[in-house]
Structure 1
Amino acid sequence: MDNSGKEKEAIQLMADADKKVKSSGSFLGGMFGGGHHKVEEACEMYCRAANMFKMAKNWSGAGNAFCKAARLHLQLQNKHDCATSFIDAGNAYKKSDPNEAIKCLNAAIDIYTDMGRFTIAAKHHISIAEIYESELVDIEKAIAHYEQAADYYKGEESNSSANKCLLKVGAYCAQLEQYQKAIEIYEQVGANTMDNPLLKYSAKEYFFKAALCHFIVDELNAKIAVEKYEEMFPAFSDSRECKLLKKLLEAYEEQNSDAFTEAVKEFDSISRLDQWHTTLLLRIKKTIQGDEGDLK
């Protein structure tokens, strides 16, 4: 479907809205009290133009129009509408200009936190983190936004949502070799979930990840950590993850890279190890004397 007509219509609407905004601040507009009404009308026109730009898939045009509407909403003291328009602008800019999208989402977050709407602010911090992950590939900044989201969720007692954000942070910290921070997160989330009947099955996975991070730093620390997790969470002892860790520790002590690889292959044949686990296991294996091989 050809939407070029929609784009022309949108451009015309933008020009008309700009004129309305200008006349609202003029001497006559102010004297006869029509200024406020004109700003409201212009605001509506910018929103209509934005939707037409969206239909024409002109994402920058849509983002710009929503931003203009947001600024007018702010002038009219409509905080909620202002934040909504900034979110709409951010969503449009995501398709054309990630940096502009982040600016708009941050502007909305400032309004939501000012209104005490921390759960919504957290949700949009996650959106920014995802842009840094996939579009701008700046993992440090993604981590910062996931952490901020987790803080806001915790403050609102949304612990499940906070844990999801923290697990993202833990995974990235381990990849970036910030093992101590990753360990703290996995232990904290593991401890938070092990007493929850619905979530306790996941706790063994978090303790497993924490133990792998310990293992890379220091084999003795890993041994102590495994014993601690078994004591804290008896179900961990019977898990395949715990049994694998014990085999790996034994292979490490004996400096036996074949036994290490065999233990990993056996585990992987039943429970597939993802890229994150494989990366960490390879790092551990490479600390076994003179081994530069792979896990397969």
Structure 2
Amino acid sequence: MDSSGKEKEAIQLMAEADKKVKSSGSFLGGMFGGNQKVEEACEMYARAANMFKMAKNWSAAGNAFCQAARLHMQLQNKHDSATSYIDAGNAFKKADPQGEAIKCLNAAIDIYTDMGRFTIAAKHHITIAEVYESELVDIEKAIAHYEQAADYYKGEESNSSANKCLLKVASYSAQLEQYPKAIEIYEQVGSNTMDNPLLKYSAKEYFFKASLCHFIVDELNAKLAVGKYEEMFPAFSDSRECKLLKFFLVALTMQKSRTVFIQVKEFDSISRLDQWLTTMLLRIKKTIQGDEGDLK
């Protein structure tokens, strides 16, 4: 059957499901298997949704899954309702408007938190954050959902997952020039990881990023911060990141940007600069010489 045939069959199933729902609400329907009719309607909506998916009619698929989710909730099938809302969200993500996807995912989150399933709720907050950062380009809202996910993960002692979310928050906060917030997170995650034998070498990256944020705000704070991180984590002192930071201190004192960029080039030749580091380094360059330009 081609896609148009699947779509027609899906529309017919939706109509049959609607009839079952209406009949279940009548007096006689309530007396004679009202709940069974609602359960059958749930199955029909789900089947229709999958047929719409095969026809690539994503909005119709999302709407059908939403109908199934509402009926599952009516039957107190919370898990099935949440699953249907997730299916609806995934369908709506492939169509416009993206807002419908977020509404469905939030509905699922509400159910999961009511059930005490905070790890699953956190996972779907991340999905919403990713929609905001990649599709809707609303970074403030993405940050809010990453923060909520981190809170849920922390409550479930999933500290590694919480840290991943917090690092996203720190990265975006720095981009939005919310440096104190970014610094606090990088220091927190750095402190947490430096005592972990498997993760301690990541600590130098987080202290490096915290230091860059300090440099953009205030030279004296940057100097004090670098010293504090060296004291907290002695391995940081011998790192290439720390040596680069100390060159920055010299350049800031002497107002010599050329010294910095020779060192940045050398650093980049070993560890390629990503977009975040490039942005922060350009801001430091502006601090040193008062204009922006190419780091290369």
TM bracket (short chain): over 0.9
Task: Verify: 1:85 aligned to 2:84, yes or no.
Answer: yes
Q: What is the deviation of 1:26?
A: 1.0
Match of 1:267 in 2: 267
Work out whether residues 119 and 156 of structure 1, in 8 Å CA contact, stay in contact via their aligned partners in 2.
Answer: yes
Q: What is the deviation of 1:294?
A: 2.5
Which deviates more from structure 2 when the two are superposed, residues 257-266 or residues 7-16? 257-266
Match of 1:63 in 2: 62
Task: Verify: 1:43 aligned to 2:42, yes or no.
Answer: yes
Partner secondary structure for residue 69 of structure 1: helix
Partner secondary structure for residue 18 of structure 1: helix
Work out whether residues 24 and 34 of structure 2, in 8 Å CA contact, stay in contact via their aligned partners in 1.
Answer: yes
Match of 2:9 in 1: 9
Q: What is the deviation of 1:251?
A: 1.0
> Percent same amino acid at aligned positions?
86
The Cα offsets for residues 241-284 of structure 1, whole Å up to 9 and x where unpaired, read as 00000011111111001111111111111111111111111111
The Cα offsets for residues 7-49 of structure 1, whole Å up to 9 and x where unpaired, read as 1100000000000000011121123x31111000000000000
> Which whole-Å CA distance do the structure 2 matches of 1:291 and 1:66 have between them?
54
Q: What is the deviation of 1:90?
A: 0.4
Q: What is the deviation of 1:288?
A: 1.6
RMSD: 1.0
Match of 1:171 in 2: 171
The Cα offsets for residues 76-108 of structure 1, whole Å up to 9 and x where unpaired, read as 010110000000000000000310000000000
Q: What is the deviation of 1:291?
A: 4.0
> Which whole-Å CA distance do the structure 2 matches of 1:290 and 1:43 have between them?
64
Match of 1:246 in 2: 246
Letter in 1 for 2:150: A
Aligned residue pairs total 295
> Closer, same or farther in 2 for the Cα pair 1:292/1:28, shift >3 Å?
closer
> Closer, same or farther in 2 for the Cα pair 1:214/1:290, shift >3 Å?
closer
> Closer, same or farther in 2 for the Cα pair 1:290/1:28, shift >3 Å?
closer
> Which whole-Å CA distance do the structure 2 matches of 1:285 and 1:55 have between them?
53
> Which whole-Å CA distance do the structure 1 matches of 2:289 and 2:230 have between them?
29
> Which whole-Å CA distance do the structure 2 matches of 1:213 and 1:290 have between them?
17
> Which whole-Å CA distance do the structure 1 matches of 2:134 and 2:279 have between them?
20
Task: Verify: 1:213 aligned to 2:202, yes or no.
Answer: no
Match of 1:153 in 2: 153
Instruction: List 4+ stretches of structure 1 deviating above 4 A.
Output: none
Gaps of 5+ in 1: none
Letter in 1 for 2:182: A
TM-score (norm 2): 0.98
Work out whether residues 118 and 156 of structure 2, in 8 Å CA contact, stay in contact via their aligned partners in 1.
Answer: yes
Gaps of 5+ in 2: none
Q: How does 1:157-236 map to 2 (within 5 A)?
A: 157-236=157-236
